[in-house]
Structure 1
Amino acid sequence: IVVTRGATAVDDEDITDLPATGVTGLIRVAQTENPGRIVLADIPTGTDINTTAILATGEPQLALRHGTFHTPRLTPVRSDDDGTQVRWDEGTILITGATGTLGAVLARHLVTEHHAKHLLLLSRRGAQAPGATELGTELTALGADVTITACDVTDK
């Protein structure tokens, strides 16, 4: 069990230990490489660590808040509280790593299936990346306004 305090936000909380979020990222990678061997638990400061309760959840990642364990889950996009659907055709969609295989597949999917109109495609080499010009031309022909920009998102 790897315990952090304040590295995970639940609901509307703020993260209170920003450096510990880096640790959680490293632990998640280690979990991927060693399934079932590592548990990541975010526990509030001043709370005792109950290893039995943590392990009994069977979850690889969790956060304890007010006596309740919370676990991360991916959920389908649903309509807003007022009943409106998420609009992919409004605003600009930013895709990082966009000129790579997965980024290009995602961009095509957003344009063809969700009618995305404005895409900002980032990659380290921008329009100089192999296939970037062709991707931009293809997406434009499908009706999207496409901007391809060189940007290394890992560079501080």
Structure 2
Amino acid sequence: MEDRVLRGFSAGIAGGIAMNIWSFISGAMNMTTLRISDWAAVIIHAHTPPFSLGETLFSLLGQLIFSGVLGIAFAYLVPPAGSRYLIFKGWLFSVTAWFLIYAVTTLFKVEGTVPIPLMTAIANLIASSVFGLVLAAALNALTVGSGSSARLGMVPAMKPLDDDDETRPR
């Protein structure tokens, strides 16, 4: 995929899907009181949980689009930073985004997001980490010339034989 915006958006969506899978699992295991889609729902619907199925699905869509936008931002940050240690850079990017989102909701005292129990913060940090790792891996896989097939070059099966070679049996 040659277009950086499309690569970044696609990688962000992949990371967002993985993040939400973890978030729904951690929610089902009562590890969190606020799933990632619930954060989006609080912002989109301007009320605290519980949310209807329609509100949850709409918020999930909004959160995935936001994940895609974060993927675009990461895709544009990678070339100046270099592609070495891309997985670490993806993780660092996502944890920074997690921290900034937590900071903004705390500074503005967004109802439904403050205060945050410790287990919710940990579960959401793990979700953010999953996002960053999948984002970087997906972006790397979608980048032209960096996938596993790009590393496989055409190599001759054997050295070409010279017609003038005297050691060759005839």
- Normalising by structure 1, report the TM-score: 0.25
More strand by share: 1
More helix by share: 2
- Normalising by structure 2, report the TM-score: 0.23
| Structure number with higher relative contact order (C-alpha < 8 Å, ≥ 6 residues apart) | 2
